[in-house]
Each structure stands twice: as C-alpha cells, then as structure tokens.
Structure 1
Amino acid sequence: MKAKSERRRLFIGDQGLLMNWDIQKTVWDYIFSKECCPVNFSESPLIITEPYFNFASIQEAMAEIFFEEYECQSFLRVNASDLSDYHYRKDNSSAQGCLVVDCGYSFSHIAPYIKGKKHKPGIKRIDVGGKLLTNHLKEIISYRQLHVMEETYVMNQIKEDACFVAYDLMANMAKAKKKYPENDIVMDYVLPDFTNIRRGYIRTLDQPPITEQQKLRLNNERFSVPEVLFHPSDVGLDEMGIGEAVSYCVSRCPSVVQSHLYANILVTGGSSLFPGFKERLFKEVRASAPDEFEVNITMPEDPTTYAWHGGAMLSRDPDFYSFVVTKEEYEEEGPTICMERFDG
C-alpha cells in the first residue's frame, strides 16, 4: 500500500491475496531483499505454496517470474497442506492416511491424503477464515457499542485475545444472559490508545473499574464469532461447517482408508488457535463418524508454522531434487513441465 502523505514509499504487509502482478513483484522484491530475507537463488532452491485448484494462468506467471526475473535455479510449487502432511508422516511413520484441516485467514480447507498423495475428490473449501471472523466481530461491536469498522487491526487482536469456541453453544448462550458473577463469560477489553497502551488487554469484572481508558464490554460475542467456523449459516453463507465438512470429505474417499483418515486428523492454521477448537471439532466429528472408527485429532504446538517446518524438512529429504523443476528443464520444456510435475 501507499500512504497519502508518502506517495513514493511502499508499505509491505504480510497478508493478502494475489490481485496485481506488479504489486506482487514488489512484495517479493522486499521479501528477498537484504532488509528482510537475503537469498542466493543460484544456490538455494525455492519452495512456494499456493491454494488448492489455483488458476493455471497464475501458476505459469509465478514460474516465469521466479525463473526469468529472479533466475531461480530450482523451484517447487506445492499446497501448504502437502507440507503439513509430509511433516505429519515424518512424525507418524505408521499412518496410512491423514486428513488435514487448515483453518486459514481467507478460507478453510479440508484435504485427505492417502499414503502421501492428496485425494482430489475429497478436498473441500469453506469460505470462512480469520478475515471473515474479524469482520463479523467489527459489525457486531459497531452495531451494539462503538463504531469500529475502520479498526481492523485492533479488532483482530480482540478476536485473538478474547474469543473462544463453545463446547456447548446453548449452555453458553444461557450463561451469557445472566449477570456477573453467575456469568463468567462477560469481560471488558481495554482498547489501546497507542500512547500509553500499545496493545489492548482483558479486564475481568471483579477488578476495580477504570474510567480514564476506553473499553468494550464483551459477552456472547466471545463465542458467537468463532461459532461461524462450525455454522457459516449464522452469517448467511450456504456452506457446511468444519465438523460436517470433515465427515463429508472422508465419505468421498475409498472406504478402505476412511478409518485411517478419522484416526489421523491434523489441524493447522491460525484460525484453529481459539481455545476449545480442538474439543469442539472432536465432539462434532465423533458424533457423525461410524462408531467402530477411532477419531483422533492432532493439533501441533504452533499450527501456523507447521507447514513451514514441513517444507524445511522436505528440503533436507534425500529425494528433494527429484520433486523440483530446474531452470534448465524450464528453459527446455516451458511451463508444461511445472504443470506435469507439480499438479499430480
């Protein structure tokens, strides 16, 4: 983005979708610069992730930029969940399958992997992610208390600090209707003023009241916002929730591997960090899975970097260079070699 006061200076963020190649090139120039992450493409191979079912035109342009503009010598394009599955199989060598539930910023994906290979008919995308949850929280707070539609960054912090997934939604709704102290869900969130308070923080109602700082009173918003992950219809989306989608994706796989997928559910992505997420997902999947199947959900210590660490492990694999496309291969065969090798 550019600031109104500094038209010549570019500000580089770390989240977003690919909309403009010129701007994307500027972002990559910054990433590979001395100020951020200096890299020698003649020595270092590049692993870049992309969403499922990416457009061929974007894939071709991506390969062209890295081979021709950056003169990358070797290049691997994968889905982030491919790397998560690789990481999981390294930690669980006996696993015959893995169902990756990736709850990201723009979307959530559920993808089954059978012996390291993704089963495309079973992949499901849900148009709910961290961005939609933050926007939903902004709308609720703006309607009930204070206009915060322009305060995306602060509201995202509030979402991360205060929200949780309800194990029993109706019980939490009943509790939220009561007054404190019977209602232990209600709390205040002190807003930052960016002078004395750089980041907002939570205050429970048993602490002495404060008057000099601006604050929000949070009650059922704390669990009703993450509830959209499990019931997108709450915001008018005609989509299945994460729990329902897990069972749907498993049902789209060969029956012989379904028990292995239920026993090896891997949760990744920043939107899975809500307290109670894993327990609620287990409850919903266990209720819909056949009784004879074991249900086991693994959540890494840091779900946001699990795929990255999988990529780091893959780069050390003895067979790594059999997966990549080299600059020589690209120059000889063109973009088709990338399509053939990466999209299996």
Structure 2
Amino acid sequence: MPAPTTATVVLDNGGAVIKVGRAGDLDPTAVLPNYLIRPLSSKKFVVPSPSTDLTSAAFRRPIDRGYLINPDLQRDIWSHAFAYLSFTPSAASSLLLTVPLFTLPSIYNSTLELVFEDFGFGSACFKDPPSLAWLHERSKGRNNGIAAGVVVESGFSWTQAAPVVDGVTLNYGVRRVDLGGKALTNYLKEMVSYRKINVMDETLLMDEVKEKLCFVSLNVQRDLQLARKPGRSNPFRCTYVLPDGVTHTKGFVKDPVDAERYVKITDNSTFTSTDPKCEVDDSDPPEDRKRIDLTKNEFDLTNERFLVPEMIFRPADLGMNQAGLAECIVRSIDACHPHLHPLLYGNIVLTGGSTLFPRFKERLEMELRPLVPDHYRVKIVAQQDPILSVWRGGSQLASRHDFEAMCVTKSEYEELGSTRCRRRFFN
C-alpha cells in the first residue's frame, strides 16, 4: 500500500513505557520509560538513562490507573521521545496515538491540546489499543480471515477483555480487572518487605525481580505444599542479589539454573530431582535458618513467585470484589450477540506485558474451558512480542493509503472543537 503523503509518527502511550516510531516500520524506533525520576543524588526530576542510579529513586508518572493526569509532564516526556526520534512535529506531520477506552472527556480534551496546540501536528488519529492489537494479529493470517475476536490486554494499569469486530472495539462488551503490572509489583514489594528486607522504595528493582522470577502456577494447592519444603528441596527457592553500588550496580539472580527448577515439577504431589543440589541443607539448626541475616545483600523467594501473578486469576484473594480473568472473558463475550460467541471464543488474543509470565496461556485455558459450552472451540493465541503488538498494529494502520481520511485535522479541531473531534473516534 502506498505510504501517506505526510510524515506520520506512531505513538503507543503506555502507562509504563511509550513506543514511538515512524509509520510503516516493523518495530518502533525507541521504547522509553513513561516517567521521570529523581535519584538520591539529584534535586530535580530527570529522564532516566542507562547510567542513572535508580536506587530508591522517586517517581513522577503522567499516567495513573491507565489515564493521563499530568499533561505537562507528558509533554516533557513526548518531547524527549520525539528528540530521540530526530523528529520535529509540524503542520505537515500526522500522529497516530493510542488512547485508552472510556477516557473521560476532560482527559481527552487535554490530549487534543497536547497534540494540536503544544506540538502543532497537522492531523491526528486516535485509536484504542485492543483494535490495533487485533489488526496486528489479523495481518499474520493466523485467524483464518475471521474478523471477530477478543483481545485480552494485561498491561501496566489493568487487565481487560475487549471484543473486536471488523476492527471496531465493542465498548459495551469490555470487561476489566483493576490489576496490572503496577499492582503486582506493589504486591511483591509488600510481601518481600514483610518477610525479608524492606524494598518498598525499590520499584524498578522489584519490577525486574517480578519479570525474571515470577510465573503462573498450574496447580496452586500443590505448589503451596511444595513451597513449604525446607532448604534446597524447595523447587521454588531462588536467590536475588541486590546491587551494592560498588561491585555491581544492577541486581541479578544468583543462580539462574537453580531458579528454573520449578519447570521439572510434574502432576505428582511430590517433587523429585536427581540433582544433588536439591537435597536439604541441614548444616544450620532450624532456628538459625528462620532468622534473616540483615548483613546479606540478597533475599530468597519461594511461594511469592507464583502468588503474585495468581492475583490476575484470583483478585478475591486480595480482598477485591472482582471476577478473575477467565470469568471476565466469559462476561465480555456474553455481553455480545449470541451469533458472535463461537467466533469470539475461537479467537482470543493475549497482549500486554503481564501476559509474558510463563504458563499464563496454559493457566487461562485451564480456567476458561470449564466455563465455556462444550460445543464451542476455545483458542488462545499468545503474541510473540505482546509489548510491541499495539504499536505494530498502529504502524500498519498509519501506512495505509486511506489513513489521512481517518484523521482529524488541526483546522477541524479549531473549527469544531474537542467535543466533535472526540465523537469522531469514540462514541
């Protein structure tokens, strides 16, 4: 398809990171954090860089619970992203920007002001992430040309199921769980701080711990029993070493091979291994093993590894009066026309960073199958790179020959106002 006549930038404005690049490219030019930090050695908030010391750094995020709350801060971060892209917005350029579903009019108006008044784009198109993720999935041809499916987006701010038909997200069918990557990291910080060492100020560090060591359990009751085993006979026990600022400035897993022992667990109720390292270490008395050595710059994880992602499937365990992900999907599909049900159950697409937990797809299929009528086929597709799928869908859309017809121009914004522009994209 011919490319649009103007320079078009695609910006996926996520709660944790933003993805920015030019229309038609396969991958974004940059994936940058969507926040500013204030290191302990600084008195002002700065854009984080690889050399920045992030230990106990303070955060300022322009997005809270998925929605833009600080346009001024967002403007500064976008300016940095455009500079990284070597791009200067002008009246001859277009922007494709992701905007969350159910954005409040006041927030949407602030977004329009950012795009047209602060940056001066000549035209812009606003799309919700589920529709772009579905567009990217359809381009791979794995859904046999079927134009309907459910996009399960589990990102930084929330987890939601959104039915998409012919590239349009059915708002009335969207169901959401108020748990995402941010809440899971906070939960892990609380568990480690209560049991091991105070890490409540180490958000980025615990983000990394979560991404490297957490996984989804396929049998929680069995794994809870196995997690009670002492010493190295516990298949979930692993050690994470904290940065000391001298010999190493980044945290790391002490024994990565040891941390992967859980994959050998079978459906049997006991864990067996021929690895001699898995034997119980009885060199110290039991009362000494229970003590926490505050001089050590490391901590162990056991059942925290699977109890943290478990919250997506069991929010009630946190005291939240919300359905788990499987029931959320069923409610989303039930809200749609019955003729769509077989298509929707047969095309469930996982996107978002929180779907990267090992065994996420398998656990969801296990929980979803008993809730679905037997005559419906359930097919769940895990995208190869769920963090970039929304941006890639936006890049494909922005490179179409009819993209300019989808946009609202700056002159239309000035003449019709933000309300009319908003209705053009979100009813």
Scaled by the length of structure 1, what TM-score is found? 0.92
Query: Quick one: which of 396, 399, 405 aligns to 1:313?
Result: 396
Identify which range, 332-341 or 4-13, moves more after superposition: 4-13
Give per-residue Cα distances to partners, 1:228-268, cap 9 Å, x unaligned. 01011111111111111011111111100111111100000
Q: Distance in 2 between matches of 1:201 and 1:15?
A: 28
| Equivalent AA in structure 2 for residue 193 of structure 1 | D
1:253 and 1:57 map into 2 onto residues whose CA distance is 29
Q: Which of 44, 47, 56 does residue 11 from structure 1 map onto?
A: 47
Equivalent in 278, 287, 305 of residue 222 of structure 1: 305
The 5-angstrom pairing of residues 288-299 of structure 1 reads: 288-299=371-382
Structure 1 residue 16 displacement after superposition: 4.7
- 2:355 aligned with 1:272: yes
| Distance in 2 of aligned mates of 1:332 and 1:152 | 45
Change (3 A) 1:15 1:101: farther
Q: Structure 1 pair 282/338, CA: closer, same or farther in 2 (3 Å)?
A: same
Give the one of 110, 116, 132 matched to 2:167: 116
CA distance in 2, matches of 1:136, 1:9: 26
- More moved, 177-186 vs 273-282: 177-186
Q: Which residue is 1:255 aligned to? A: 338
Which 5+ residue runs of structure 1 have no aligned equivalent? none
Corresponding residue number in structure 2 for 1:30? 80
Alignment-mate amino acid for residue 335 of structure 1: S
Question: 1: distance between equivalents of 2:62 and 2:228?
Answer: 38
CA distance in 2 between counterparts of 1:220 and 1:69 reads 48
The change in CA–CA distance for 1:14 and 1:256 in structure 2 (over 3 A counts) is farther
Shift of 1:194: 3.4
Match of 2:205 among 133, 154, 158: 154
Partner of 2:70: 20
Query: What is the one-letter code of the residue matched to 2:77?
Result: V
Give the partner amino acid of 1:59: Y
Determine the C-alpha separation between the residues in 2 that align with 1:119 and 1:133: 28
- Asked if the contact 1:323–1:341 (Cα under 8 Å) also holds between the matched residues in 2, the reply is no
Per the alignment, in what secondary structure is the counterpart of residue 138 of structure 1?
A: helix
Please say if 1:328 is aligned against 2:416. no
| Superposed CA offset, 1:279-310 (max 9, x none) | 00111111211111111111111110100000
SS, match of residue 172 in structure 2? helix
- Which residue of structure 1 lines up, in the alignment, with residue 266 of structure 2? none
Alignment pair present for 1:135 and 2:186: yes
Structure 2 gaps of 5+ residues are: 1-35, 49-58, 260-276, 282-292
Residue in 2 that maps onto 1:199: 251
Select the residue among 218, 236, 240 that pairs with 1:167. 218
Write the deviation string for residues 39-58 of structure 1: whole angstroms up to 9, x where unpaired.
44334310111211001111
Equivalent position amino acid for 1:44 in 2: S
- Pick which of 140-149 and 333-342 moved more: 333-342
TM-aligned CA deviation for residue 85 of structure 1: 1.5
| 2:128 pairs with 1:79 | yes
CA contact (8 A) 1:85 1:113 kept: yes
Code of the aligned partner of 2:114: I
User: For 1:72-124, what per-residue CA distance to the aligned partner results, in whole angstroms no more than 9, with x for missing partners?
Assistant: 11101111112111112222361131100000111112100122221111101
2:137 alignment partner in structure 1 = 88
AA of the residue aligned to 1:11:
V
Deviation per residue, 1:3-62 (Å, 9 max, x gap): 4764466436896512223222222222222x4552443343101112110011111121
SS in 1 for 2:93: coil
Question: Partners of 1:215 and 1:228 in 2: how far apart?
Answer: 25
Give SS of 1:189's match: strand
Deviation at 1:318, TM superposition (A): 2.1
* RMSD after superposition: 2.4
